[in-house]
A = this chain, B = another copy of it.
Amino acid sequence: MTELDFIAALRALATQPSARGLSDDAAVLEFGTETLILTKDMMVEGVHWLPQQSLADVAWKLVAVNLSDLAAKGAEPVGVMLGYSLATNNAAFLTGLEEALTAFDVPLLGGDTVAVEKSRTFSLTALGRATHTPVPSRSGAQPGDHVWLCGSAGGAMMGFDAVSGLADADERPFTRPTPRLAEGRALAPHVTAMMDVSDGVLLDAWRMAKASGARFAIDSASVPIAAPESRRDEALRWGEDYALLFTAPSGADLPVPATRIGTVMEGGPEPLVLDTKIIDGPEGLGYQH
């Protein structure tokens, strides 16, 4: 069984339409009088961080990326459950974990630790409470809506280059990303679709358009980037910036600063049009897991 087959089979097994094969979308669950939002992201040694990075950054990011999934649902964080591989540098991890929990005001509820010798895996399940229903999904974009970005693209790319010694830039957009929790909550009542940009603006726009059965026309020059103009193309394909990508009706009065980057059109065979060019499949648009 190939990995793609496995993910497809898991997707079939999952009861949540949003589970998307256990990817980075959150689960939405009615629970008593409340709506519960659940998300789980893992970080694996050798895959998700550079050897020179501190585990304090890894811990921070583990919290941040999960909370970013909650932000995209307009959810208020309730707590996190940690899965931790015990080995070296535990103190650094703990420092970053505590910093993130404090910064985002979210409690550690519990979890599990296992001592390991080889490659380490950290996982986190974050729990949130919906602040607005229906909870924003990726599939609600309607023809005529505008496509918006709250945040920018390319900052994490520059930070990655800085950590790698390739650029003189701020490392923090890569090492210490900030989930846009307040913006997500404020936007939730106004959007028709919303997701956090973890794998690149263009790829995530392609995915949202496809999930909505629509076609997005994106104007690449309008996307705000936190990188030199010469690297715009790369910036639009680099992930980990955790901006919020959303669609809203054309007359929407948005409560937070955001930049319009495109328009939703009737669905066609391909879900993305970039600067009037129809994009032929998601390859090359961003980071594919």
A interface residues (Cβ-Cβ under 8 A, vs B): 1, 3, 5-7, 9-10, 13-16, 18-27, 29, 31-34, 36, 38-42, 44, 46-48, 78-79, 81-86, 90-91, 94, 97-98, 101, 107-119, 121, 123, 125, 127, 129, 289
Contacts and interface: CB of A to CB of B under 8 A. Distances in A.
Contact of A33 (B33, B42, B91, B129): B33
A31 B29 contact: no
Nearest to A113: B22
Contact of A32 (B34, B79, B83, B98): B34
Contacts of A119: 116-119
B25 A110 contact: yes
Nearest to A84: B22
Contacts of A5: 90
B123 A83 contact: yes
Contacts of A6: 86, 90-91, 94, 113
Nearest to A94: B9
Contacts of A31: 31-32, 34, 36, 78, 129
A139 to B, nearest CB: 15
A82 B13 CA distance: 12
Contact of A19 (B19, B26, B109): B109
Contacts of A39: 81, 110
B29 A79 contact: yes
B114 A42 contact: yes
Give the most central of A24, A85, A111: most B CB within 10 Å: A111
A141 to B, nearest CB: 21
A94 B94 CA distance: 33
7 contacts: A3-B90, A15-B107, A32-B33, A34-B34, A44-B114, A116-B121, A117-B119
The 4 residue pairs across chains A and B that have the minimum distance between CB atoms: A32-B34, A121-B121, A1-B91, A15-B107
A112 B38 contact: no
A40 B21 CA distance: 20
A134 B289 CA distance: 43
B29 A83 contact: no
Contacts of A48: 114
Nearest to A32: B34
A89 to B, nearest CB: 8
